[in-house]
Structure 1
Amino acid sequence: MIKFFRKIRQKLLSENRFSKYLLYAIGEIILVVIGILIALQINNWNENRKSRDQEQKYYCLLLENVEQDKEQVLQLKALNEERKNGSYEAILEIQKEKPKAKVFGKSWINALQRVTTTFRPNNATYSDIKSSGNLSIIQDKAITEALNTYYTNVAGYAETIIINSDFTVDRIKSLDSWFEAGVHHVNIFSRYNNDVFTDAIREKIKEDLPEYISEDYKPILYDAILITGTDNGRRHQLLELIESEVDQIKQLLQDKCNNND
């Protein structure tokens, strides 16, 4: 093709037809410019297609993270139901005229299981998008704002859970004695094996542990379990709020991930 145009130029010059040569040269330049513009347009189209493909992948990866968040919050709610049941049973026992230490202790331990556990959102993909400078790839700014709101809100709720549980743990740590709270009854004779205590020691402990919670210690434990129960009730509300946030962002991302247009 280049040789063909070169021959035309040479023929026009040899025939001393300069005006036609000039027009031809201009036309050739225009063709070259058009070719460059077309090449740039194709390149831009390819880059844009790659960006849209990457955007689609991001939506689906973000959705996977949020689906894991959904699974996590459901597990935490199930665990908290066990805590709430433990609180309920312990309160019923401490309200009796002669509450049994072993019954109270078992229920209280259930009410306190993994009390410092909170919700931790999976933000791996979102953090990667921001750290790599690819946030601009997400063209739907409503999604970006929704993601910012989601991670901010759930982090706040999760932090509140920890603050509340810290208050509960501090109250428990302030107790003067665990001896007649029933905790030793459960830990030594139900939850753990014989590696720590010999049979002789365990038998003596069993004799020394009181069967009933004393009248003096009863109001102290009553107060402690009420605090624990209140914390578990508030935790349920916070987990409900987290689940609502998860469901909202999940719906948005599902629509984007499933949209292949």
Structure 2
Amino acid sequence: MINFFRKIRQKLLAKNNFRRYLTYAFGEILLVVIGILIAFQLNNWNERQKQLKLENEYYCRLLEDVRLDQVQFTELLRLAQDRLTASNQAVRLLLNKEANKLDIGMEIALSTKAIYSDFQPNNSAYEDLKSGANLNIISDKSIIKALNKYFNKVEELKSIIMVNGKHAVDILFAHDDNFANGSNQASIKVGRFATGLEEDVKKSFLINDMEKLSPVMQARLLNESIEYVSVNTRQVELFSSILSEINILEKLLHSKCN
């Protein structure tokens, strides 16, 4: 191709046709400029395609993390709802003057099960995005805004959940005699002592399934069970709030992940 254009230039010069030579030279320069512009546009297009691919990968990674959080917080909400049901049942039983230690111990154990469990949102893709200038990869800034709102809310509500859970645990462990409140009896029957204690040790505890609480202990446990209702009600509200944010974010990211 280069030899072809060189021969044309030589012929024009040989004929001393300077005007036609200038026209040809201008055309040749124009072709070179057009070629450069096309190459530049192709390069930009390739870079843009790479950026779009990377952006989509981030959307899909974020979506995967959010869906893991959906599973996690759905389970945390279910546990809180189960605890709320159990704490209401404990109050219901304690309002009866003939409350059994074993029944109450079981319901209180269920009322406080995993109430102080720690949890962490899945944020590996989000943390990766925040490193360096990666946030600029996300063209839809509403996604960044929604992510910031979600993670800030989780951190804010997590502290409240943990404080409430600790309050319930402090009440639970304030008892000096867990046989008097039925806690040990319940644990020996169906709890951790059921598997942790060896059979001969378990048999040494003569548990009377119909043994009643003392009036003083019954009054104390009634007040404490009402506290468990309060704590679990709050936890249900907070986990529901987090889950609502997750569902909003999931829909946004689902629409972006191709």
CA separation in 2, counterparts of 1:127 and 1:255? Answer: 21
**How has the CA–CA distance of structure 1 residues 58 and 194 changed in structure 2, closer, same or farther, with 3 Å as cutoff?**
closer
Q: Which amino acid aligns with 1:239?
A: F
CA separation in 1, counterparts of 2:190 and 2:144? Answer: 51
Deviation (angstroms), 1:99: 2.2
Quick check: 73-82 or 105-114, which moved more?
73-82
Provide the secondary structure at the position in 2 that maps to 1:169: helix
Q: Tell me if the contact between 2:57 and 2:257 (Cα under 8 Å) persists in the aligned partners.
A: yes
Deviation (angstroms), 1:249: 1.4
* Number of equivalenced pairs: 257
CA RMSD of aligned residues (A): 2.5
What does residue 34 of structure 1 align with?
Answer: 34
What does residue 197 of structure 2 align with?
Answer: 196
What does residue 60 of structure 2 align with?
Answer: 60
Deviation (angstroms), 1:195: 5.5
Q: Tell me if the contact between 2:102 and 2:209 (Cα under 8 Å) persists in the aligned partners.
A: no
Q: Tell me if the contact between 2:100 and 2:209 (Cα under 8 Å) persists in the aligned partners.
A: no
CA separation in 1, counterparts of 2:176 and 2:226? Answer: 17
CA separation in 2, counterparts of 1:190 and 1:156? Answer: 36
Aligned positions of 1:203-218 closer than 5 A: 203-206=203-206, 211-218=211-218
Q: Which amino acid aligns with 1:101?
A: K
Quick check: 244-253 or 233-242, which moved more?
244-253
Q: Which amino acid aligns with 2:50?
A: K
Deviation (angstroms), 1:21: 4.0
Deviation (angstroms), 1:102: 0.7
Q: Tell me if the contact between 2:164 and 2:231 (Cα under 8 Å) persists in the aligned partners.
A: yes
Provide the secondary structure at the position in 1 that maps to 2:205: helix
TM-score (norm 2): 0.87
CA separation in 1, counterparts of 2:79 and 2:65? Answer: 21
Deviation (angstroms), 1:73: 2.1
Q: Tell me if the contact between 1:87 and 1:111 (Cα under 8 Å) persists in the aligned partners.
A: yes
Deviation (angstroms), 1:210: 9.3
Query: What does the per-residue CA deviation read over 1:17-44, in whole Å, with 9 as the maximum and x for residues that have no partner?
Result: 5555455444333322221111010110
Q: Which amino acid aligns with 1:148?
A: N
Aligned positions of 1:40-119 closer than 5 A: 40-117=40-117
Provide the secondary structure at the position in 2 that maps to 1:226: helix
Q: Which amino acid aligns with 1:189?
A: K
Deviation (angstroms), 1:86: 1.2
Identity over the aligned pairs, expressed in percent?
37
Q: Tell me if the contact between 1:87 and 1:229 (Cα under 8 Å) persists in the aligned partners.
A: yes
CA separation in 2, counterparts of 1:85 and 1:159? Answer: 23
In structure 1, list runs of 5 or more residues that go unmatched. none
Deviation (angstroms), 1:148: 1.3
TM-score (norm 1): 0.86
Where does structure 1 differ by over 6 angstroms across 4 or more consecutive aligned residues? none
CA separation in 1, counterparts of 2:12 and 2:159? Answer: 82
In structure 2, list runs of 5 or more residues that go unmatched. none
CA separation in 1, counterparts of 2:149 and 2:195? Answer: 51
Q: Tell me if the contact between 1:154 and 1:245 (Cα under 8 Å) persists in the aligned partners.
A: no
Query: What does the per-residue CA deviation read over 1:226-255, in whole Å, with 9 as the maximum and x for residues that have no partner?
Result: 222211010111111112111211222222
Deviation (angstroms), 1:194: 6.1
What does residue 245 of structure 2 align with?
Answer: 245
Aligned positions of 1:213-232 closer than 5 A: 213-232=213-232
CA separation in 2, counterparts of 1:29 and 1:195? Answer: 89
Query: What does the per-residue CA deviation read over 1:90-125, in whole Å, with 9 as the maximum and x for residues that have no partner?
Result: 112222223211111000111111112355322222
CA separation in 1, counterparts of 2:187 and 2:149? Answer: 43
Quick check: 128-137 or 240-249, which moved more?
128-137
